[in-house]
Amino acid sequence: MTRPKIYLFGDSITESSFSLGGWGASLAHHFSRTADVVLRGYSGYNTRWALKVLERVFPASQGVDGGTAKAPLALTVFFGANDACLPDRCSAFQHVPLQEYKRNLHSIVSFFKKLWPTTLVLLITPPPIDEEARCRHPYVENPQGLPERTNNAAGEYAKACIAVAGEFGIPVVDIWNKMQQHPEWETYYLSDGLHLTESGNQVVFEEVITKLRDEGLSLESIPVDLPLINDIDPKDPLKAFLH
Amino acid sequence: MTRPKIYLFGDSITESSFSLGGWGASLAHHFSRTADVVLRGYSGYNTRWALKVLERVFPASQGVDGGTAKAPLALTVFFGANDACLPDRCSAFQHVPLQEYKRNLHSIVSFFKKLWPTTLVLLITPPPIDEEARCRHPYVENPQGLPERTNNAAGEYAKACIAVAGEFGIPVVDIWNKMQQHPEWETYYLSDGLHLTESGNQVVFEEVITKLRDEGLSLESIPVDLPLINDIDPKDPLKAFLH
């Protein structure tokens, strides 16, 4: 058998999702006998750059007409944290205007819908921003001393992401809202005002498997790859391996 | 581009390698922009069962003559902990005699050498066994109250694994010896006398990347997938994405 795949496509919060306690690693562990979780995270990228590389990351030969590779079960699209960098602050080169972000995200989803019509595309909003921590942890020189991202701006991009999901009728994980329900979300979920703590990773993992389950993708619905040890008869183990 | 793959093939210590702090997840994180780490771990399996399923896990269509999929960069083969179950104890149904283990492991490596002549096959020995902990944590009913595995027996299988690596001239990670160099290896590296703690996982991860590096596979030698954020010119970001 060829195991089905789940792709994770996004920015640094996706690229780092296999670090200690990361949401990608947790997904891979959760589906350890059922699906391959494939990492396509590109630190620093926004939707404008993602659009530029889409066909290189997901070549047509993997798609519906072109090749032998089957459509993945699911794919997460998790961009917006970099698009939401403010245009007049130190990370301005990553900024993408809100309306362009929305168009770009729409184009990205359209691309996948055409390449893999049966694949569940799951959007994830950018996380909330702790502006105080962002002042303390700039990624580039920051002579202004101001946060390069604000929580309000991230919230506008989160809303746009949710709107795009609505246009396609696909699920979306709204972690911008979800995380802020915790009284100490700034430090409980975020390590540097943007990236995720182990608890933040856990929330994303749980929200993703909940949405996948809502759409019919769960350990109960995806076939297990080869007999489980508990299904092997200790009196005649090889019986389990007959075709 | 299609990212190269690194397969992890083995028993429960492979299957659980994406749990918190797991060696598989650490590998996936280490190679997050360079290679896909693909999990093929089958809890409870010995080499006899592995041989039965080899062609289903790695179908010929993925191989040298059959299909479009490229040979993986590397593949870890990590069996022996279950083969080394004692034939007169509670997990006897998993036992494989030492000489058969050696033949089976030889056949498994031969299979990969034929399927993917260019792929680096890396053997990993079974870990040492803490017999006291094994008495306390049986996986099946254990009316005798005796450990189903002993450290001496595991050591014999580790030696056989090393011998097979020698026959092929391929690298081997000898974690049976390596772990016992720590004065408190029983609890520092093992959680239940057999499976790995976070520290045990860390050792396996470090040993694997060291062996891969010795054979020329490292972050320096494998191309990065798409421009890194530090290689993108803030004054003209899109330049980085021209073909």
Which among B28, B33, B41 has CB closest to A25?
Answer: B28
Which of A36, A174, A192, A225 is the catalytic position?
A192
Residues of chain A positioned with their CB less than 8 A from the CB of B51: none
A28 at interface of B, judged by CB pairs closer than 8 A: yes
How confident is residue A63, by pLDDT bands cut at 50, 70 and 90? low
A209 at interface of B, judged by CB pairs closer than 8 A: no
Best residue of B241, B242, B243 to probe chain A, by most A CBs closer than 10 Å: B241
pLDDT averaged over chain A? 95
Cβ–Cβ under 8 Å, residues B106 and B98: no
Output the pLDDT for position B19.
Answer: 98
Q: CA nearest B43 in A: which residue?
A: A229
Query: Is B77 strand, coil or helix?
Result: strand
Q: List the strands of the sheet with A172-173, edge to edge.
A: A36-41, A5-10, A74-78, A120-124, A172-173
Cβ–Cβ under 8 Å, residues A139 and A93: no
Using one digit for the tens of pLDDT, what is the confidence trace for A7-58? 999 999 999 999 999 999 999 999 999 999 999 999 999 999 999 999 999 9
- Region A204-214: what's the mean pLDDT? 98
Using one digit for the tens of pLDDT, what is the confidence trace for A136-192? 888 888 888 899 999 999 999 999 999 999 999 999 999 999 999 999 999 999 999
Using one digit for the tens of pLDDT, what is the confidence trace for A83-137? 999 999 999 999 999 999 999 999 999 999 999 999 999 999 999 999 999 998 8
Task: Please tell me the pTM assigned to this model.
Answer: 0.96
ipTM of the complex: 0.96
Residues of chain B positioned with their CB less than 8 A from the CB of A45: 229
Q: CA nearest B92 in A: which residue?
A: A234
Contact criterion met (CB < 8 Å) for B226 and A57: yes
Output the pLDDT for position A64.
Answer: 61
User: Distance of CA B74 to CAs A1, B7, B65, Å?
Assistant: 20, 6, 18
Counts of helices then strands in chain A (DSSP H, E): 9, 5
Output the pLDDT for position B131.
Answer: 95
B224 at interface of A, judged by CB pairs closer than 8 A: no
Using one digit for the tens of pLDDT, what is the confidence trace for A12-23? 999 999 999 999
pLDDT greater than 60 at residue A68:
no
Contact criterion met (CB < 8 Å) for B33 and A42: yes
Residues of chain A positioned with their CB less than 8 A from the CB of B32: 15-16, 18, 39, 41
Residues within 8 A of A (CB atoms), B 147-206 only: none
A237 at interface of B, judged by CB pairs closer than 8 A: yes
Distance in angstroms (rounded) separating the CA atoms of residues A91 and A105: 20
Tokens describing residue B234: 């803030």
Q: CA nearest B93 in A: which residue?
A: A234
Distance in angstroms (rounded) separating the CA atoms of residues B11 and B58: 16
Listed residue (A106, A94, A229) closest to A167, CA to CA: A106
Residues of chain B positioned with their CB less than 8 A from the CB of A225: 57
Residues of chain A positioned with their CB less than 8 A from the CB of B26: 18
| Residue ranges, chain B, pLDDT below 70 | 1, 63-69, 243
Output the pLDDT for position B138.
Answer: 83
**What is the helix (H) or strand (E) element at residue B157, kind and residue range?**
helix B151-168
Length of chain B, in residues: 243
Tokens describing residue A168: 């396609």
Q: Tell me the nearest-neighbour CA distance from B169 into chain A, angstroms.
A: 30
Output the pLDDT for position A2.
Answer: 78
Distance in angstroms (rounded) separating the CA atoms of residues B107 and B103: 6
pLDDT greater than 80 at residue A204:
yes
Half-sphere exposure of A164 (CA within 13 A, CB side): 31
